Amino acid sequence: VSSPPGRRARLSSPGTSQQPPEAREEMRRRVKNLIEGSRVMIFSKTYCPHSSRVKELFSSLGVDCNILELDQVDDGIRVQEMLTEITNQKTVPNIFVNRVHVGGCDRTFQAHQSGLLQKLLQEGSANDYDLIVIGGGSGGLSCAKEAAILGKKVMVLDFVVPSPQGTSWGLGGTCVNVGCIPKKLMHQAALLGQALRDSRKFGWEYNQQVKHNWSTLTEAIQNHIGSLNWSYRLSLREKGVTYVNAYGEFVDHHKIKATNKKGQESYFSASKFVIATGERPRYLGIQGDKEYCVTSDDLFSLPYCPGKTLVVGASYVALECAGFLAGFGLEVTVMVRSILLRGFDQEMAEKVGSYMERHGVKFLRKFVPVKIQQLERGSPGKLKVWAKSTEGPETIEEVYNTVLLAIGRDSCTRKLGLEKIGVKINEKNGKIPVNDMEQTNVPHVYAIGDVLEGRPELTPVAIQAGKLLARRLFGASSEKCDYMSVPTAVFTPLEYGCCGLSEEKAIEVYKKENLEVYHTLFWPLEWTIAGRDNNTCYAKIICNKFDSDRVIGFHILGPNAGEITQGFAAAMKCGLTKQLLDDTIGIHPTCGEVFTTLEITKSSGLDITQKGCG
């Protein structure tokens, strides 16, 4: 069909032949994804009567179609030119049924009259689902629900293999059940303990002994998590997503085996698959670790107070858990093999550790456990830990009630049957390499979330990636997930928020002489009357001198660091510069306003200690 008056001018837009090769290849991939991901794909124009006839035909047959109106999308001309290149058909409608090019309006009606169309439609129903998502965590659920909204038939398989201590949980993945949600609630419980101590200085008088009840907290947390599990199941049901509580394993390219907790096996097929199985805590591989130690999988539902605790590891999980346990008044030791918070800004990491150490957390640096033995059973019992130095022959031994391992996490990819269908993984860490479309080396298999190699392991990242993946596979979108400048926060007793590059990474990428680092210590107003540490909270930004002092690294150590960082992360997405910060009027008195008055650079060597309210 030709364009009506007023639309012809759009045909002069740059065509695919004039596009750079990468852009043409991306357009080809996008068009093919639409074709391959749809039972019926119609490329149409809203004003075309032939397109309308075809849509009415499929509607009368009760067949759902994926329709892209080329006159309603910005790059419709380029899509049509790519279709011409692929099919040698210049007009719309351009129809595909189960990846087979049927043609235009006339050929579709001829196929319907001859019975060919019905045959093609039946072939497509060979697969049970358009999409099967393996893993019911944040990313998997996001992808599944978005695909269902786009009219696809979707299944989610989710199965939690119990931890060595026997802990398992419901739908929702790590974040909801044994990660971000219970962690933040326990962090809040510890902050309330600090607030109680501060409150006397603010005039609150109370005589009764205040103590923390572990069981009350864990019961409340588990009740909240249970309500979230239920809401996720309800949301899937409302959107028509089939949820199966079973372990998924590939047996063929488009077929998986699902094994439930009773060992019963079922088989399902799909056109496309998304792997979103996440990670689980790593163990030490020493005598007594799996028998007697707990991990973050177990801690948040532990039926007894952990007592004197050894936390092994220096990850954010290790420091967060050590922080809130100490906040409950427990004796806590952190055993560190090398550095704190690997991958984070090391100046900030050391400040996090120093604050924890000043507030009662003991650190054992450059030691690793070599053996763990149970001395007494109980709730908690007693465990003896032997450890050796990483720098010499020195060994130490100590008795604890609980040993919490937080030494890293391993991807859950090795028992999915990926080798049967040729999906490559990194044999060292189990991570799955993907392209910028989250596609593995096997075209119909995709992966999102913590299993991806070289991507941030964060819940909001997985949610965004899952949603955008579904829109590219089954909608008209070409938007990819932006993995750059992702903000995050570490919920240690003194919170640390960051966005962009660490100082070390910025120096590696841009060279020190091309950077300016602005920094300051600050004293939150709330801490003054409470008599809490002055010149402990710290803020810094890293600027690229040769790009208008653009902020490429944002770091804050202080109360509510996550809330502060979230706002500035949006500004960084918009190209935040030092001048824009200077031009911004702060909200007084807040911690966040410190970024609007930064004056001292590291290179100046000037004193950054604060004497009072700014």
Beta bridge mates, 364? 335
**H or E element: which one contains 215?**
helix 214-238
Q: How far is CA 608 from CA 212, 599, 605, in A?
A: 38, 10, 9
CA-wise closest residue to 491 among 559, 537, 402: 559
Do the Cβ atoms of 135 and 157 come closer than 8 Å? yes
3-state secondary structure 390-410: CCCCCEEEEEECEEEECCCEE
Instruction: Look up 588 and say whether it is catalytic.
Output: yes
Torsion (CA) 496, 501, 506, 510 in degrees, nearest 10: -160
First-to-last C-alpha distance (Å) of the chain: 68
Amino acid at 247: Y
Do the Cβ atoms of 381 and 308 come closer than 8 Å? no
CA-wise closest residue to 509 among 557, 547, 453, 555: 547
Catalytic: which of 253, 254, 359, 588? 588
Residue 154, SS3 per DSSP: strand
Q: Are strands 279-281 and 488-490 parallel, antiparallel or unpaired?
A: unpaired
DSSP per residue, 230-266? HHHHHHHHHTT-EEE-SEEEEEETTEEEEE-TT--EE
Residue 538, SS3 per DSSP: strand
Q: Is 317 exposed, middle or buried (0-12, 13-18, 19+ CB in 10 A)?
A: buried
Do the Cβ atoms of 148 and 154 come closer than 8 Å? yes
User: What is d(CA 53, CA 61) in angstroms, rounded to the nearest whole number?
Assistant: 13
Structure tokens of 428? 């060292």
Residues annotated as catalytic (active site), given as ranges: 588
